Structure 1
Amino acid sequence: MTTTFYDHWRDVPEGTWRWPNFSPAEIACRGTGKLLINEPALDKLQALRDRLGKPLVVRSAYRSSANRGERAEAGPGRPP
């Protein structure tokens, strides 16, 4: 499995992002901007998008362990 980590989604080198229907910002942690790219997972997500022929909404693709704010807001017994 090929994974790549960036401290912020803006650090992704231009021209290396190969998933045309998803942006690095969309996949990154919403609280910190950190980005973990799991290439096989994104390949499958893009293939599904291509097969459906319509947009998919990504609500949460990666949540950094540094993003404690979202966990605190979720409260006990609720997923972060």
Structure 2
Amino acid sequence: MLIRSVSLFDTTGWRWPHFSPRELACKCRGQFCDGAYWHDPAFLDALEKLRGAVDRPLVINSGHRCRRWNAKMGGAEHSMHKQIAVDIALDGHDRFALLAAAESLGFNGIGLGRNFLHLDRRARPAQWYYKGSRALWQT
């Protein structure tokens, strides 16, 4: 469910202690939207379980993106960021353990970056490498 502005989102009953709507909202800072936020409880449940599985903070570099911010960031035309997806910073994580935990929790849109892991839950599974990252993900 798309919320036009994260400031309009009622956090009563928020049950995901390691994340906030603001960190998952569009980060265009008013250039194109008013901090649009895509609320998906099932996605957040999986994200919270991922946090528990790796027992380390997950730093979200990017969550929801409005259409124009996604384009400015070089996102794909049909990017899941235009609904809900996350790019998680890899700093302080074992990239392979984080990937395995994400896969076990039903994240099936997986982008393997140099310093981040893209995760979403799409209808058809997909996995890809971002430019210059393939060698870092080879075992």
Q: Calculate the TM-score normalised by the size of structure 2.
A: 0.45
- Does residue 12 of structure 1 match 2:9? yes
In structure 1, stretches of 5+ residues that fail to align are none
- Of the three residues 39, 43, 46, the one matched with 2:41 is 39
Deviation string, structure 1 residues 6-48 (Cα, Å, up to 9, x no partner): 1111212132322110011100011130001122111111001
C-alpha distance in structure 2 between counterparts of 1:14 and 1:45, whole Å? 17
Structure 1 stretches of at least 4 aligned residues deviating more than 6 Å after TM superposition:
none
Q: Give 1 or 2: higher strand fraction.
A: 2
Highest RCO, 1 vs 2 (Cα 8 Å, sep ≥ 6) = 1
Q: What percent of counterpart residues are identical?
A: 30
Partner of 1:71: 71
- Partners of 1:16 and 1:66 lie apart in 2 by 31
Alignment of 1:56 with 2:58, yes or no, is yes
Q: Could you give the per-residue CA deviations for residues 41-73 of structure 1, whole angstroms, max 9, x where no partner exists?
A: 111110010122110011111111143xx634x
**RMSD, aligned α-carbons:** 1.7
Question: 1-side partners of 2:40 and 2:13: how far apart?
Answer: 14
* Corresponding residue pairs, total: 70
Looking at structure 2, the residues matched to 14 and 38 of structure 1 have their Cα atoms a distance apart, in angstroms, of 13
**Structure with larger Rg:** 2
